[in-house]
């Protein structure tokens, strides 16, 4: 039988499979995808390698890859992602960062957050199954509003989300935050202008392997446009800076997913199966609200997100 000729693309794939089998690869992870090139940190050689990116692997920050042991290494494979963060305002759900241990939502007195945004961030991270913490930055400029603070206290006390109060400018509170960032890969998310990049700069490790290469462009106070990973602690603490969210919304969150963002409601059982907690009689959540066991702000935020969902749904149909 005549042997079928392989195309160049098929040959490369076959070569990659053979290399994968040999397991003779460098392990690395993506620090930044600049479009044409990707910066990959390779712990074994302790260096950042710049590699031409291929569309095939669709690499995002935090992706873990296997590289060929050549003078000019190639990306042979992308390991499966443990999780992936999507942008809050992206109805198409494109991932922006992978393999995250913790997301820190950064807030500040200026620009002030809107009340329901706390529940929105919580819901978004619960749905993605990424642990959440909050950072109140710019404490040198004053306090957040009482309505935001009561929501953050609820998140801390009832939902076990740590809350840090810091100032990237004065350095206040950074010691405790730095400790919390140790030995994991974290990401800073939140509105534009709250100081995410300023915090990353303030927290960078003294002997940063990426500082010369990568972070010079971030020294100014420019709005961040790329998602990038930095070493902030010699104990393997990595921090990803992400562009601020301008539009608020939950992207294409589904109605059923909203309840995932309110695990505290499970403490109040209902007599209805699949209750959406909006009916009045016999609903455990409504009862807890009437009895003032569940704070009104928590229930109001739930109703707000449910309403928001219907808007997101209509919007989505245009795609």
Ligand X SMILES: Nc1nc2c(ncn2[C@@H]2O[C@H](COP(=O)(O)OP(=O)(O)OP(=O)(O)O)[C@@H](O)[C@H]2O)c(=O)[nH]1
Using the minimum distance from each CB to ligand X, give the nearer residue, 195 or 261.
Answer: 195
Among 103, 181, 199, 285, which residue interacts with Zn ion (rule: CB under 5 A)?
A: 285
Closest distance of CB 63 from Mg ion, Å: 21
Q: Which of 76, 98, 82, 100 is nearest to 26 (CA)?
A: 76
Closest distance of CB 28 from ligand X, Å: 26
CA distances from 210 to 32, 217, 232, 246 (A): 11, 12, 10, 28
Describe the crossing of helices 117-128 and 146-157 by its angle, rounded to 10 degrees.
30
Among 169, 224, 252, 276, which residue interacts with Mg ion (rule: CB under 5 A)?
A: 224
Q: CA 24, CA 74: separation in Å to the nearest integer?
A: 13
Query: Closest CB to ligand X belongs to which residue?
Result: 244
Using the minimum distance from each CB to ligand X, give the nearer residue, 109 or 251.
Answer: 109
| Residue 305 interacts with Zn ion (CB under 5 A): yes or no | no
| Residue 283 interacts with Zn ion (CB under 5 A): yes or no | yes
Closest distance of CB 241 from Mg ion, Å: 6
Using the minimum distance from each CB to Mg ion, give the nearer residue, 129 or 225.
Answer: 225
| Residue 270 interacts with Zn ion (CB under 5 A): yes or no | yes
Closest distance of CB 226 from ligand X, Å: 10
Q: CA 48, CA 28: separation in Å to the nearest integer?
A: 9
CA distances from 235 to 42, 48, 231 (A): 16, 18, 9
What 3-state DSSP class applies to 118?
helix
Q: Which of 89, 140, 59 is nearest to 243 (CA)?
A: 89
Describe the crossing of helices 296-316 and 146-157 by its angle, rounded to 10 degrees.
90
Closest distance of CB 195 from ligand X, Å: 3
Among 277, 288, 298, 305, which residue interacts with Zn ion (rule: CB under 5 A)?
A: 277
Closest distance of CB 287 from Zn ion, Å: 9
216 token code pair: 């010079």
CB 112 within 8 A of CB 106: no
CB 148 within 8 A of CB 118: yes
| Residue 215 interacts with Mg ion (CB under 5 A): yes or no | no
Binding site for ligand X (CB under 6 A): 137-138, 140-141, 167-169, 192-198, 221, 223-224, 243-244
**Among Zn ion, Mg ion, ligand X, none, partner that 15 touches (CB below 5 to 8 angstroms by kind):** none
**Among Mg ion, ligand X, Zn ion, none, partner that 270 touches (CB below 5 to 8 angstroms by kind):** Zn ion
Cα dihedral 204, 205, 208, 212 sign: positive
Closest distance of CB 161 from ligand X, Å: 19
CA 256 to chain centre: 21
Q: CA 195, CA 110: separation in Å to the nearest integer?
A: 10
Among 197, 201, 227, 286, which residue interacts with Mg ion (rule: CB under 5 A)?
A: 197
Using the minimum distance from each CB to ligand X, give the nearer residue, 138 or 277.
Answer: 138
CB 102 within 8 A of CB 131: yes
| Residue 199 interacts with Zn ion (CB under 5 A): yes or no | no
Residues that bind Mg ion (CB under 5 A): 196-197, 224
Residues that bind Zn ion (CB under 5 A): 270, 275, 277, 283, 285
């Amino acid at each position: 039988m005549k042997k079928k000729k392989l195309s160049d693309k098929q040959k490369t794939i076959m070569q990659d499979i053979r290399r994968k089998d040999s397991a003779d690869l460098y392990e690395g992870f993506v620090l930044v995808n600049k479009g044409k090139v990707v910066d990959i940190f390779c712990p074994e050689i302790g260096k950042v390698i710049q590699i031409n990116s291929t569309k095939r692997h669709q690499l995002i920050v935090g992706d873990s890859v296997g590289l060929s042991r050549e003078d000019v290494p190639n990306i042979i494979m992308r390991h499966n992602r443990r999780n992936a963060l999507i942008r809050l305002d992206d109805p198409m759900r494109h991932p922006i960062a992978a393999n995250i241990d913790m997301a820190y939502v950064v807030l500040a007195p200026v620009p002030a957050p809107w009340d329901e945004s706390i529940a929105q961030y919580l819901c978004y991270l619960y749905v993605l199954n990424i642990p959440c913490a909050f950072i109140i930055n710019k404490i040198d400029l004053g306090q957040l509003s009482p309505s935001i603070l009561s929501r953050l206290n609820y998140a801390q006390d009832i939902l076990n989300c740590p809350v840090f109060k810091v100032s990237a400018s004065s350095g206040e509170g950074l010691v405790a935050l730095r400790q919390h960032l140790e030995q994991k890969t974290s990401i800073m998310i939140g509105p534009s202008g709250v100081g995410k990049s300023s915090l990353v700069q303030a927290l960078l490790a003294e002997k940063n392997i990426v500082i010369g290469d990568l972070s010079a462009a971030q020294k100014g106070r420019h709005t961040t446009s790329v998602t990038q990973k930095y070493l902030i602690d010699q104990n393997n603490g990595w921090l990803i800076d992400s562009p601020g969210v301008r539009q608020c919304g939950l992207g294409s969150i589904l109605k059923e997913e909203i309840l995932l963002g309110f695990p505290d409601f499970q403490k109040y059982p209902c007599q209805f199966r699949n209750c959406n907690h909006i009916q009045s009689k016999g609903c455990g959540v409504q009862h807890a609200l009437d009895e003032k066991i569940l704070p009104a702000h928590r229930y109001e935020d739930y109703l707000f997100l449910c309403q928001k969902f219907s808007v997101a749904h209509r919007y989505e149909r245009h795609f």
